[in-house]
């Protein structure tokens, strides 16, 4: 959930709505999944993977979207803490950070020529990302192929962050 508004105009209600969806929900999901995975590990079935979608907004400035960026950065801190805490149970925690992805949330921007010229024009791959662009990484993190890969965040943004 976004919530774009100039910082000095953002309301506490807007802030709390974004944090409830983007941060609190991840906490509750991780907590409940971890409870199940730890219980299973204590019965001899170690392992599991917690995976969350963050955003490149966690590592870049997000004007008029401070709540969104703060929650996505908070998710990264949660992933790292969870990875360290649960590693002894064979449980991994990782995050995927998509860049400009064509979704319902970005629909307005997708149809804005000036934005496409300035922002998407700066993506070295010169296009909006699609969900399929990070599906392979999600499968990797969810599979045993990543059984020694934890506490990480992978940026998938067509090169936007490095350009």
Of 49, 54, 57, 72, which residue is the catalytic one? 72
Q: Which two tokens stand for residue 106?
A: 């970005």
Of 55, 57, 153, 160, which residue is the catalytic one? 55
Instruction: Give CA–CA dist 58/48, Å, rounded.
Output: 25
> What radius of gyration, in Å, describes the C-alpha atoms of the chain?
17
Task: Characterise 159 by phi-psi region: left (phi > 0), alpha (psi -120 to 50), beta (else).
Answer: left
| Secondary structure element (H or E) that encloses residue 140, with its range | helix 135-142
Q: Please confirm, yes or no, whether 55 is among the known catalytic residues.
A: yes
Of 49, 54, 57, 68, which residue is the catalytic one? 68
Is the CB of residue 18 less than 8 Å from the CB of residue 26? no
Residues that are catalytic: 55, 68, 72
């Amino acid at each position: 959930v976004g919530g774009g508004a100039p910082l000095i105009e953002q309301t506490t209600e807007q802030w709390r709505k974004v944090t409830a969806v983007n941060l609190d929900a991840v906490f509750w999901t991780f907590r409940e999944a971890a409870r199940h995975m730890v219980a299973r590990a204590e019965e001899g079935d170690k392992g599991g993977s917690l995976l969350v979608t963050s955003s490149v907004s966690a590592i870049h400035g997000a004007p008029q979207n401070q709540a969104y960026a703060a929650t996505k950065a908070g998710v990264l801190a949660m992933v790292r803490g969870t990875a360290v805490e649960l590693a002894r149970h064979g449980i991994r925690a990782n995050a995927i950070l998509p860049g400009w992805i064509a979704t319902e949330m970005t629909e307005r921007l997708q149809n804005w020529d000036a934005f496409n010229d300035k922002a998407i024009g700066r993506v070295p791959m010169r296009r909006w990302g699609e969900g399929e662009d990070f599906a392979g990484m999600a499968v990797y993190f969810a599979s045993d192929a990543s059984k020694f890969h934890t506490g990480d965040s992978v940026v998938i943004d067509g090169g936007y962050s490095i350009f």
